[in-house]
Amino acid sequence: MVAKHDASAPYHVFYTTISDAKQTHNQPYSITFLEILDRSLGELKCSLQINFMVEIGWLLAQYYFAGYSEKKLTILYGEDMEDLRTINKKKPHVDAHHVSMATPFGKHHTKMMILCYEDGSLRVVVSTANLYVDDWENRTQGLWFSPRCPELPADAMPHDGESPTMFKKSLLKYLNHYHLPSLAYYMERVKRCDFSHINVFLVASIPGSHFDMEWGLTRVGSLLRQHCSIPTDQNKQWPLIAQASSIGSFGKEPKLWLTGDFLQHFTRIKNPPTVLSQPPQLKIIYPSLENVRQSHDDLLGGGCLPYAADAHAKQLWLNDYLYQWKATSTHRDRAMPHIKCYTRVSPDYNRAAYFLLTSGNVSKAAWGQKNKKDQALRLMSCEAGVLLLPQFVVSEPSNLQIIKIGLMTTIFYIFVLLKFTAETPPSVMVLL
Q: At 415, is the pLDDT very low, low, confident or very high (cuts 50, 70, 90)?
A: very low
Residues 202-220, mean pLDDT to the nearest whole number = 97
Residues 201-217, mean pLDDT to the nearest whole number = 97
Residues 118-143, mean pLDDT to the nearest whole number = 98
Distance CA 383, CA 367 (A): 9
* Three-state secondary-structure class, residue 320: helix
Who's near 338: CB < 8 A, 6+ residues apart? 128, 129, 130, 135, 139, 140, 141, 245, 304
Q: At 311, is the pLDDT very low, low, confident or very high (cuts 50, 70, 90)?
A: confident
Q: At 430, is the pLDDT very low, low, confident or very high (cuts 50, 70, 90)?
A: very low
Domains and CATH numbers, the chain: 2-201 (3.30.870.10), 202-407 (3.30.870.10)
Residues 198-226, mean pLDDT to the nearest whole number = 97
Listed residue (238, 266, 269) closest to 350, CA to CA: 238
Determine contact, residues 192/120, Cβ cutoff 8 Å: yes
Residue 233 CB: number of other CB atoms within 10 A?
Answer: 9
340 annotated as belonging to a binding site for a ligand = yes
Q: For residue range 148-182, what is the model confidence (pLDDT) as tens digits?
A: 999 999 999 878 999 999 999 999 999 999 999 99
- Say whether 109 is catalytic: yes
The pLDDT value recorded for residue 400 is 40
Q: For residue range 224-274, what is the model confidence (pLDDT) as tens digits?
A: 999 998 988 899 999 999 999 999 999 999 999 999 999 999 999 998 877
- Measured torsion, CA atoms of residues 188, 367, 238, 144, in degrees rounded to the nearest 10: 30
- pLDDT tops 60 at residue 406: no
Determine contact, residues 335/327, Cβ cutoff 8 Å: yes
Determine contact, residues 201/170, Cβ cutoff 8 Å: yes
The pLDDT value recorded for residue 85 is 95
Q: For residue range 338-387, what is the model confidence (pLDDT) as tens digits?
A: 999 999 998 888 888 999 999 999 999 999 999 888 889 999 999 999 99
The pLDDT value recorded for residue 425 is 60
3-state secondary structure 72-107: EEEEEECCCCHHHHCHHHHCCCEEEEECCCCCCCCC
User: What's the chain's Rg over C-alpha atoms?
Assistant: 21
Listed residue (354, 334, 346) closest to 394, CA to CA: 354
- pLDDT tops 90 at residue 133: yes
Residue of 12, 109, 227, 265 with catalytic role: 109
Q: At 414, is the pLDDT very low, low, confident or very high (cuts 50, 70, 90)?
A: very low
The pLDDT value recorded for residue 35 is 99
The pLDDT value recorded for residue 348 is 83
The pLDDT value recorded for residue 87 is 97
Q: At 407, is the pLDDT very low, low, confident or very high (cuts 50, 70, 90)?
A: very low
The pLDDT value recorded for residue 403 is 59
Q: At 99, is the pLDDT very low, low, confident or very high (cuts 50, 70, 90)?
A: very high
* Three-state secondary-structure class, residue 56: helix
Least confident span in 69-83, 118-132, 183-197, 412-426: 412-426
The pLDDT value recorded for residue 25 is 97
Average pLDDT, the chain: 91
